[in-house]
Structure 1
Amino acid sequence: MYDLAKDGDLDRIINTIYDEGGIVAAECHGPVPLIYTKRPNVESFIGGKKVTGYPDVWESEGLLDIYPFSLEQEMKKISNYDLGDF
């Protein structure tokens, strides 16, 4: 999942689907690429949007120490991150 975080090809695919009226969705750790995806105007793809993702409290002990970043913490920086009913 983290190997796709900054994948230019995936960014283009995400933006194309979105611009053509498609739905861009992900679950669990799937939102990782959305963190760094930029719109053509260089704004964040998820900036200002309400998003959810796998919360830090659900990560197995020690995993946050070896992940390159926390999905939850990065999403909180640029979006309206919400744990929802977790």
Structure 2
Amino acid sequence: MLSHHERAELDKIERWFETSDPALAAVLRRGSPPRAAPLTLLIVLLDTAAIGLLVTGMLAASPALTLCALLAGAGGVAAHVARCQGQD
């Protein structure tokens, strides 16, 4: 339980956030930052392309398609890492 003084201090901090950076105050009020839709779409496309190319390359015994699958997979990993680092 917060004391009256602590509540007053928190109210001051809240008002300061609302006046100095309204966008940040809105994000903090919602509880979580909005996700980047283009990055999520890129991740889904890279993952799907990697799986499709890998299966096709293995069925056709094509080293070129398998290499493309590995490159798409590496791009997907990089996009996953970028999204995770952006959330921290």
TM-score normalised by L of structure 1: 0.24
Question: Taking CA–CA contacts closer than 8 Å with sequence separation of 6 or more, which of the two structures ends up with the larger relative contact order?
Answer: 1
**Per residue, is there more helix in 1 or in 2?**
2
**Per residue, is there more strand in 1 or in 2?**
1
Structure with larger Rg: 2
